[in-house]
């Protein structure tokens, strides 16, 4: 039997090798038969969301579609999944893998080949208009979620595209504001998710970003495309531009393979003279075409080989992601869940109550197949003896320049009579989305509304719609706070299940929420009102000259929780935090050794116990701390985590394998990663600010 399996495995491996050899041979044959014009046509987009193909030689086009929260189509409606930051808040790799599979199954129904997702830019400032599309502030958490997502998509025979490479951390003036980032911060903070996508998930395509990096547009950066992606990380796939983000033919020599959505610069008129000028330029063109042909033929040979996922399963997946990603931030006096005697009269109020706030705006927004508002979801899910009333906000006369209008305040007289008041507040897809940044604070009338409600009823629950953190001047006045992100079309149902206690919340923040904007590490440099522009136009957009601004990342590696640790300041809500309706205890720790080397890893085991009377999930987080750093380092860095589901009263062992490279930092003198021998601590807890276990190890 063993010999039979060995023969079978060898046959399968050899078959794969032959298949790839066949593709390579076909690619070389096509290259010999293609004209220069056909080759150049192949490196420019066609009709917006396609490659051109070579009809004469039966080379098909590759068809793209937007993501990452479902399929974006002009005519058809699809399952709208939660925002990717909500998916990251699940801290559940398996669930994010399923989400990738489900979205890819929708891609297949419209016969598309490439999903333009996921976005893995790090959360640096809460104002960034596309934070909801990304996966939070931590490079390790983002890497893990991105790898799971990509594997899920590509498991279904659809090519994933990781974006936007790199340091696209604001959307304000994104074409011309250069992200000025030092070498160490690039490698420790902003590169890792892209590197993991390449080396761990074998992503098929990478999209460059709009912004310049250190004064050079990313689509024209030889350093990023050739030195980092191809030489250092070994990326073999296609590098494409973001839409209309090529600014000159410099992109051709820099290594860009595909200009989207059309060849404004990488066209026959502009590129042919370059190609004919030298053999090296001809080789550059052939290399691009070779990658695009390989990309196309590798996909076409087993196109849609995976069985699709049915609609009900896709909707269930979207609901599960929302249920696990919604974060309970505050729950004073165990106000939530809403259940039991004396909790049956509920007032629903707020600008986002009667709308389905399932997504932020821009290319990521999907036409939802079955959107349901928060209020309608609460009514549909409520027990028969519950009374759910709605206090609608008039669009025009609810507030004045000075706050809530007297007329509207008079309508709040009934608020004290309710057992619970649920206020749905936050942003909309018009306020938070692609192409612009949004405020840190909620609209003033929303803050006034929350204050007025809390003054009249201490059992006020605030549900926030946003792609990241917001100012909460009312945080101490309300009974409970729930961050729902943009939870997708099933988000209302998921939220109702949590509010009524049918689902125990388990989401953990993938970001740090600051008390004040001034507490953010980037607050001193991020300024959308006073862009520091060079005096002379440096490049053109749509034929018009533009100047370049600069955004200096002065905080370096000290972003998010790293910054708050570094300056010893307490945030409003810490990275990794999130409440449950039950209680967990971490303990009974054992290690098989306390020395870590190239040859030795530490196996650490601990017990997680559910001490409450409800089943639920806890996420155990392991951080590392350099006790005597030889360079300035963050106090702690997330390196491992595991989400555990436990029935009431149950216990389970969690095992972590700690490796030497987890203690590495980027050494700018060597231009490479390094590990210093010495004493370190393993810090284990349920949030970045709640470390309950500390174990020393020696790294050799």
Which residues are designated catalytic? 242
CA–CA dist 139, 638 (Å, integer): 9
- Going 86 to 92 to 95 to 97, the CA torsion angle's sign is positive
Which H helix or E strand runs over 161? strand 159-165
Q: Which two tokens stand for residue 627?
A: 């006790």
- Using CA atoms, how far residue 394 sits from 251, 301, 448, 460, in Å, is 52, 57, 15, 21
CA–CA dist 525, 320 (Å, integer): 38
| Burial class of residue 587 in the structure, from the number of CB atoms within 10 Å of its CB (0-12 exposed, 13-18 middle, 19+ buried) | exposed
Q: Are 129 and 123 in contact (CB under 8 A)?
A: no
CA–CA dist 170, 549 (Å, integer): 13
Question: In the structure, how many helices (H) and strands (E) does the chain have?
Answer: 17, 31
How far is C-alpha 4 from the chain's CA centre?
Answer: 44
- Using CA atoms, how far residue 665 sits from 104, 142, 267, 510, in Å, is 36, 18, 42, 22
Query: H-type helices in 34-63, by residue range?
Result: 36-42
Q: Are 140 and 174 in contact (CB under 8 A)?
A: no
Q: Which two tokens stand for residue 32?
A: 């010999």
- Using CA atoms, how far residue 310 sits from 53, 61, 104, 109, 314, in Å, is 31, 27, 12, 11, 6
Neighbouring CB atoms inside 10 A of 673's CB total 12
Q: Which two tokens stand for residue 682?
A: 């393993």
Q: Are 90 and 488 in contact (CB under 8 A)?
A: no
CA–CA dist 143, 120 (Å, integer): 8
As a 3-state breakdown, the chain gives helix, strand, coil percent values, each rounded to 5, of 30, 25, 45
């Amino acid at each position: 039997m063993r010999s039979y399996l060995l023969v079978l495995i060898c046959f399968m491996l050899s078959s794969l090798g032959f298949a790839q050899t066949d593709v390579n041979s076909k690619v070389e044959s096509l290259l010999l038969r293609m004209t220069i014009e056909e080759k150049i046509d192949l490196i420019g987009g066609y009709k917006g969301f396609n490659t051109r193909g070579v009809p004469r030689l039966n080379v098909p086009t590759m068809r793209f579609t937007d993501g990452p929260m479902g399929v974006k189509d002009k005519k058809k409606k699809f399952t709208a999944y939660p925002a990717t930051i909500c998916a990251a808040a699940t801290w559940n790799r398996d669930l994010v893998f399923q989400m990738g599979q489900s979205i890819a199954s929708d891609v297949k129904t419209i016969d598309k080949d490439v999903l333009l997702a996921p976005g893995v830019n790090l959360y640096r400032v809460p104002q960034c208009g596309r934070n909801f599309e990304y996966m939070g502030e931590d490079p390790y958490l983002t890497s893990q979620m991105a790898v799971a997502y990509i594997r899920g998509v590509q498991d279904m025979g659809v090519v994933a595209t990781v974006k936007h490479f790199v340091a696209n951390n604001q959307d304000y003036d994104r074409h011309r504001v250069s992200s000025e980032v030092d070498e160490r911060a690039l490698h420790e903070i902003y590169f890792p998710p892209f590197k993991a996508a390449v080396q761990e998930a074998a992503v098929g395509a990478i999209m460059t970003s709009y912004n310049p990096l250190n004064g050079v547009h990313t689509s024209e950066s030889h350093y990023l495309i050739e030195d980092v992606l191809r030489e250092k990380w070994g990326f073999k796939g296609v590098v494409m531009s973001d839409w209309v983000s090529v600014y000159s033919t410099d992109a051709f020599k820099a290594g860009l393979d595909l200009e989207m959505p059309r060849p404004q610069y990488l066209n026959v008129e502009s590129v042919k003279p370059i190609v004919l000028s030298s053999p090296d330029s001809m080789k550059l063109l052939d290399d691009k075409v070779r990658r695009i042909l390989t990309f196309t033929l590798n996909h076409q040979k087993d196109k849609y080989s995976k069985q699709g996922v049915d609609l009900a399963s896709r909707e269930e997946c979207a609901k599960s992601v929302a249920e696990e990603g919604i974060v309970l931030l505050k729950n004073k006096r165990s106000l939530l869940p809403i259940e039991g005697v004396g909790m049956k009269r509920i007032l629903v109020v707020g600008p986002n109550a009667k709308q389905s706030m399932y997504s932020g705006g821009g290319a990521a927004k999907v036409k939802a197949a079955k959107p349901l508002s928060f209020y309608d979801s609460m009514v549909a899910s409520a027990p028969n003896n519950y009374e759910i009333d709605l206090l609608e906000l008039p669009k025009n006369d609810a507030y004045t320049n000075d706050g809530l209008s007297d007329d509207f305040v008079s309508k709040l007289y009934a608020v004290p009579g309710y057992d619970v008041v649920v206020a749905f507040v936050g942003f909309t897809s018009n306020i938070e989305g692609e192409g612009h940044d949004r405020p840190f604070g909620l609209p003033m009338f929303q803050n006034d509304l929350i204050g007025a409600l809390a003054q009249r009823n201490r059992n006020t629950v605030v549900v926030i719609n946003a792609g990241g953190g917001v100012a909460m001047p009312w945080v101490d006045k309300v009974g409970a706070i729930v961050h729902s992100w943009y939870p997708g079309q099933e988000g209302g149902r998921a939220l109702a299940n949590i509010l009524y206690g049918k689902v125990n919340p388990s989401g953990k923040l993938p970001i740090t929420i600051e008390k004040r904007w001034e507490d953010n590490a980037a607050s001193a440099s991020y300024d959308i009102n006073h862009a520091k522009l060079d005096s002379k136009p440096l490049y053109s957009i749509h034929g018009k000259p533009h100047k370049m601004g600069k955004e200096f990342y002065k905080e370096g590696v000290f972003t998010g929780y790293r910054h708050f640790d570094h300056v010893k300041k307490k945030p409003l809500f810490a990275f990794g935090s999130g409440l449950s309706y039950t209680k967990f205890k971490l303990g009974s720790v054992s290690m098989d050794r306390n020395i870590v080397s190239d040859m030795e890893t530490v196996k650490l085991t601990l017990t997680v116990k559910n001490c409450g009377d409800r089943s639920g999930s806890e996420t155990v987080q392991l951080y590392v701390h350099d006790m005597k750093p030889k360079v300035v380092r963050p106090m702690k860095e997330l390196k491992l985590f595991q989400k555990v589901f436990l029935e009431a009263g149950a216990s389970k062992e969690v095992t972590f394998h700690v490796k030497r490279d987890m203690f590495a930092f980027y050494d700018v003198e060597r231009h490479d990663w390094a590990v210093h021998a010495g004493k370190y601590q393993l810090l284990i807890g349920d949030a970045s600010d709640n470390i309950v276990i500390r174990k020393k190890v020696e790294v050799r």
